[in-house]
A and B are shown apart, each in its own frame.
Chain A
Amino acid sequence: MIFSYYLDVDKTHLINMKFNVKQILVQNSMLQVTFDAVVEEVLDGTVLHSESQSGAFTLSSSRVDDPTSSDGYDINFIRTRYADQNKWIFEIQNNSQPDQVVLVGLYSTTATGNPLGEDIIQDDDSYNFILKGNNIGQLEETYVPPVLTQNVVNTDFSQLVLPYGFTTVSGIYDSAVGRFLLSDFSHTFPNSIDPDTAFTLTANLAPMQTDSVSDEIFHVTLHGIGQVTLYKTYLAYLREGDDPSNTITIFFGASADPTWFLSPPPYFTDKSKFSVQADGAGGVTVKYAGVSLIGSYDPSNPFAGVDLQAAARADKSLVVCAFDNYTIEFFK
């Protein structure tokens, strides 16, 4: 089912909150329901942004035989609009176990103002339902909106679908493994991540050669934040706009080798996990190749995109990296 809030009379701009049932099982006169909770913003038929969360509830048995006779109900659907923080929050609560809650929310600076109305739509033929206690009201004064995790990108490249704004000149899709082999990419986010906002970036990133001409193997630029460079014997981070003499480094004590990252190929090792965590207040932690660096960045900058560029080898070709499981999330 869908709770669809429309922001214009012609219903071209929507916030949809969806309860997508994947399976209902009757077991020992209990209902076991598995579902996805989704909040999405739609404009002219295009999904601008979507967040989802899966859940599984066991619903109390008392109502299974005759759901209409009971005063009870299965699930509480709570939709909260917190305009002060640009949030739309969908909470699904199991009535027989109220501590079981699935929460998913959308942070949107484009869906502003109050909706004009709400459609409640049955889009699934596999079950019918009753809704009661439908009302809208004020939040309690003590209400504190939750911090929402928002995905900018989340892909395991199991299919050849590039994230929006992602381009690569050298990239070759490795369909057997479901990953990219590339020497460069450029990723400009459809919407920059706001200043003063915590975020994490993770990916598996494995150079398949470490015999570059220069000491550098590759570097990753985070626009608005800084640059991470893998050298043969150390990892480096330089804050954006900072003097190179302020580069922070940590040495491996050995020379980087492709087997550090893929062992046995095509399997990624723990060392191949590239992660950047920014705290929204100017602190950043970079982890890669088994080491970590703590640096700083200017939190008043938006985070607008990521580039990767690999270094050249003796035969003029570029170092090729295996790239997979690319995720960027921010927290609002």
Chain B
Amino acid sequence: MSILLSTQHLTMQFGGVVAVDDLNINIPKGEITALIGPNGAGKTTAFNVITGGYQPTNGRVIFDGAVIAENCPRSKMKRIYNGSYTEPFRHTVVNKSDVITRLGMARTFQNIRLFKDLTVFENVLIAKHCHIKAGLFAATFRLNRGEERAMSQDALSLLERVGLLESRNEKASSLPYGKQRRLEIARALATGPRLLLLDEPAAGMNPKETDELSQFIVDIKDSFGLTVFLIEHHMNLVMDISDSIYVLDYGKTIAYGTPAEVQNNERVIQAYLGVDEA
């Protein structure tokens, strides 16, 4: 099975704090991989590094065979570097998150970040902008009617797919919470990704909504031919749909395996329930 995304010795250090330490993950094409761990384990930071929000301190991110981020500790960071992997990389590759999105990687946010004052339809339509072919003047003078029409149609069919077609003219901020989560996923899908990163998609949902979401994630994965990488605290969801799971604690990977393997891992249980000191 081919690997779509992998990280090599990925390390992210803020000041003296190592938030992500020597992270090595491989995400196979067409599977659902989960990243779990207690609060503050560095999951969202790992997401931010992978999607170009932060520049890693050390290590490398490879997406579909190409290096999209690489760095090594420099100047002041060289002195205070505290990561476990000390063999530094040589090159620096920087890609901002918009470039990475256009390469085919889209994400959602832990604390929903919709374009609040715009309509549901506009939210999705904007995400289609990143692949626009027409230039500024062509678009202004409406010389790209065909392209514009295709964009709207795609956006509408996406909204239909996620069950938000009825609310297309409502303000994004007026949607109920669960629908906002769905809209965020629809918006991410509109960028035409191969890899979808979901940051706690079930946060704040009740068990019934969580079950529906599990089904929804599997559905869109199959119908759009996606690979999914997700952070989640709802263990039911994670255990249900993931093909494999990485467990993070204090920035370090403490376990990897299938849901069954991870569930029975001694260190994972310790990390979640605490260690009996006595």
A and B co-occur in one complex: no
